[in-house]
């Protein structure tokens, strides 16, 4: 995954894939669908994923802020173009010999400026929509991966893989972090 600044980082989706691979590679318990995993290692991996999610959200917010800046710049440029068109229109109209021609030319310039402004808005909206859709898919895949990991963990707990041994103290059992 690439951060906004262009640097490489391990994203939440990569971490989820690592957790899934870790569980899939775990030693199977004979004659069952269960496997043995190091609880502390799995919890550490899930906590790391949990800590990364806020940074993914901050990246999404930064994308929205960038979108707003692009839209504002596009609107300022459109207003500038429209203003220039109107000024040109007024200048041409002031000349008596070319009044009709000037009105047509001014209207054409204003129309082109408005068309260009709308085109810029449409492009920005399409870019932002695509970017947000991609981010939404990423978050959905990340959430699905977390849910699959939790389901596997709950399944393992239900079949007894995570049950404490009789000689273990109950105090040592800690609940898994809430995601």
pLDDT at position 60 is: 83
Extract the runs of DSSP E, i.e. beta strands, from 20-138: 27-28, 35-36
Contact yes or no for 113/84 (Cβ under 8 A): yes
* Distance, first Cα to last Cα, the chain: 21
Q: Give percent above pLDDT 90 in the chain.
A: 12
pLDDT at position 88 is: 82
pLDDT at position 173 is: 54
Q: What is the pLDDT of residues 140-160, one digit of tens each?
A: 998 898 899 899 989 988 887
Closest CA to 135 of 74, 70, 55: 55
Q: What is the pLDDT of residues 104-133, one digit of tens each?
A: 888 999 998 899 889 988 988 888 888 888
Contact yes or no for 12/42 (Cβ under 8 A): no
Rounded to whole angstroms, how far apart are CA atoms 58 and 72?
21
């Amino acid at each position: 995954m690439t951060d906004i600044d262009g640097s490489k980082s391990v994203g939440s989706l990569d971490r989820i894939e690592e957790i899934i691979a870790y569980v899939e590679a775990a030693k199977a318990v004979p004659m069952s669908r269960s496997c043995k995993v190091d609880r502390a290692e799995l919890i550490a991996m899930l906590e790391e994923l949990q800590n990364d999610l806020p940074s993914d959200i901050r990246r999404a917010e930064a994308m929205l802020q960038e979108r707003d800046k692009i839209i504002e710049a596009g609107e300022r440029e459109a207003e500038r173009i429209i203003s220039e068109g109107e000024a040109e229109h007024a200048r041409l109209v002031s000349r008596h010999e070319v009044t009709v021609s000037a009105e047509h030319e001014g209207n054409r310039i204003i129309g082109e400026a408005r068309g260009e402004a709308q085109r810029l808005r449409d492009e920005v909206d399409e870019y932002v929509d695509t970017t947000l859709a991609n981010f939404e898919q990423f978050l959905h895949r990340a959430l699905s991966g977390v849910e699959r990991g939790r389901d596997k963990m709950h399944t393992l707990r239900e079949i007894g893989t995570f049950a404490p041994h009789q000689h273990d103290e109950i105090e040592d059992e800690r609940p898994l972090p809430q995601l």
